[in-house]
Amino acid sequence: MQDCLFCRIARGEIPAKKLYEDDEIVAFYDINPIAPVHFLVIPKVHVASMDELGDEHAAVMGKLMVVIGKLAREQGCTDGFRTIVNTGRVGRQEVYHLHVHVLGGTDVLPPML
């Protein structure tokens, strides 16, 4: 069992405002949102970053991508949204459990970088 912040959120040991959960995936609102809609989608299995993904994760990551679109639409992002995956030092990743940021809920997001 991993002593990792997002593993602990997935297990319900640390509270988070979850908007979706199934046997393989959890989505919860970011504690420090940078857009009116800002949630994170994670695989329950501990994968530190996108750099650590292997062939064994292909199915869950494919499912995760499909879930993102459904959740974004449910959150009112009917005219688009932004997904971000920060990876490693260069990507300024802070939490080393792979997560996809989903951002939206505004007319147009600011440009990236």
Active site amino acids:
99
Q: Does 28 bind ligand 5GP (CB under 6 A)?
A: yes
Q: Can residue 26 be called a binding residue for Zn ion (CB under 5 A)?
A: no
CA dihedral 6, 106, 65, 112 (to 10 degrees): -80
Q: CA 65, CA 68: separation in Å to the nearest integer?
A: 5
Q: Of 32, 11, 25, which Cα lies nearest the Cα of 100?
A: 25
Tell me: does residue 5 bind ligand 5GP (CB under 6 A): yes
Residues 36-55, interacting with Zn ion (CB under 5 A): 46
Do the strands 25-29 and 82-84 form a parallel or antiparallel pair, or are they unpaired? unpaired
Interface with ligand 5GP, residue 93, by CB under 6 A:
yes
At 77 the three-state DSSP class reads coil
> Of 89 and 92, which CB lies nearer to ligand 5GP in the complex structure?
92
Select the residue interacting with ligand 5GP from 48, 53, 95, 109 (CB under 6 A): 95
Which stretches of the chain bind ligand 5GP, using CB under 6 A? 5, 16, 28-32, 86, 92-95
